[in-house]
Amino acid sequence: MKKQPIIWGIILLFLLSSINPIISGYDISSNNIIYVDDDGTADYTKIQDAIDNASDGDTVFVYNGTYYGKLIISKSINLIGEDNTYTVIKPDDPEESDELNRIITIYSNNVQVKNLCLKPYNNVKMYNTRPIYAENSRNLIIQNNHIINCNGRIILNTNTSAEILDNQIHSYNGYPARCIYFFNPPQNSTIKISRNSIINYGTGIHFNFYETAPSQIIIEHNHIEFPFGQDSSNSFDSGISFSHTVDTNYHLNISHNNITGFRFGFYYSGSGFPLDNSSINIFLNSFNNEKSDLYLLPNPKKSNEPLVVKNNNFFGENKEELFIEQIILDPLIIPFLLNYSMGLIQKNSIQWKSNYWHHHYTLLPKIIPGIMIIYLQFPFIGFPFNIFQIDTSPVKEPYDIPIQKVNIE
């Protein structure tokens, strides 16, 4: 194997990194490079052996080959493959239990996983093959990987923040699992998901804020697709979904994504409140989905800023409601809350601006169907009413929004 040019390229890369070691906001300066090759001509033949003998800040560089074994990373290292098509990692047995069938498990901060191809044991769809699982791990970078038929989720569990960039993640036959799943990200952190292609997963990206939430979330330039008409066995499947039960401040920007084929393009709900300094912006996305391009269920807002939906392409039929407003009334103070509720209706917790709507061939305002549910607190009974909001300035032609291309082999 001709490794000399590659070795010099790696040395040059890290000399440059030593001059300016900050990339994407994270410190990736390295003290040492450890090489792995399955042909026996490098420092190690097994990736886990190289990881076990690495120190914080080291890089484990893996040459092309097929490597079997489930990796555990508990130190701050960079795991980098030579090529994301030919540097292949698979679990070493077909065990389908959750914990045993993770390909890469991360328990430390400041880890990078780049340029790898992750596949299940026998190359075909397996229910619980989880390509990456991280817990209590801040400042991860997962970049330029090719993840094939791993139908378990990329799980970023409690207190984990990450940048997920430039990955190709696909299943050949479609699968109802959530592809990228964040649970309780740490406060005062930033999460960025950008330039990924996510194909044939029932939900592309899902966030669950049960106890904590990050300060900023950026989801941009992703292509997220599920085949039209295919049953995902999940009545809430969506390209991007959020569920939050904690009151918190956060800034959410969803822009320049192409989301197609799901029941819902973007699904937003939960019992928590975005607080005063929060902002939620959905702009310059292209949606084309079966049931509704959006399903927005904001709670009675403590935030002074509305959820803003602007400059998007809505190609879906959108035959059902795109939003649901909720009001909870305490019988002891119904007169006061009714006045408050009417003000909330007039103000709108959602602001629609200059979107393109398929089959709306006029510049007249676009009527957006929704539902208002008024709940009595004692007893807890809801009464739904059909209402509408308005995009006062719809555009006649769709926006030119570049689509993230994907090459599936």
pLDDT above 70 (res 77)? yes
pLDDT above 80 (res 408)? no
Strands 258-260 and 313-314: unpaired
* Residues with Cβ within 8 Å of residue 380, at least 6 apart in sequence: none
The pTM for the full model equals 0.84
User: Is it true that the peptide bond before 120 is cis, omega within 30 degrees of 0?
Assistant: no
Q: Which two tokens stand for residue 176?
A: 């109802």
How far apart, in whole angstroms, are the C-alpha atoms of residue 201 and residue 226? 6
Amino acid in the structure at residue 1 = M
7 or 401, which is more confident: 401
Q: What is the pLDDT of residues 314-349, one digit of tens each?
A: 998 776 667 776 665 555 444 444 544 444 444 457
Over its C-alpha atoms, the chain yields an Rg (Å, rounded) of 23
Q: Which of 150-164, 211-225, 388-402 has the highest mean pLDDT?
A: 388-402
Q: Which two tokens stand for residue 193?
A: 């998901």
Q: Name the class of domain 17-391.
A: mainly beta
Residue 99: pLDDT band with limits 50, 70, 90:
low
Q: What is the pLDDT of residues 241-255, one digit of tens each?
A: 988 777 777 788 999
Q: Exposure of 141 by Cβ count < 10 A (0-12 exposed, 13-18 middle, 19+ buried)?
A: buried
Average pLDDT of the chain, as a whole number = 79
DSSP state of 215: S
> Which parts of 256-394 are beta strand (E)?
258-260, 264-269, 279-283, 286-288, 292-296, 307-310, 313-314, 323-329, 350-353, 356-357, 366-376, 381-391
Q: What is the pLDDT of residues 114-134, one digit of tens each?
A: 999 998 877 555 556 788 999
Q: Are 148 and 119 a contacting pair, CB within 8 Å?
A: yes
- Average the pLDDT over 79-102 and give the result: 80
- Average the pLDDT over 31-57 and give the result: 94
- Average the pLDDT over 82-95 and give the result: 86
pLDDT above 80 (res 406)? no
- Average the pLDDT over 55-80 and give the result: 95
Residue 215: pLDDT band with limits 50, 70, 90:
confident
Strands 381-391 and 366-376: antiparallel
How far apart, in whole angstroms, are the C-alpha atoms of residue 280 and residue 299? 13
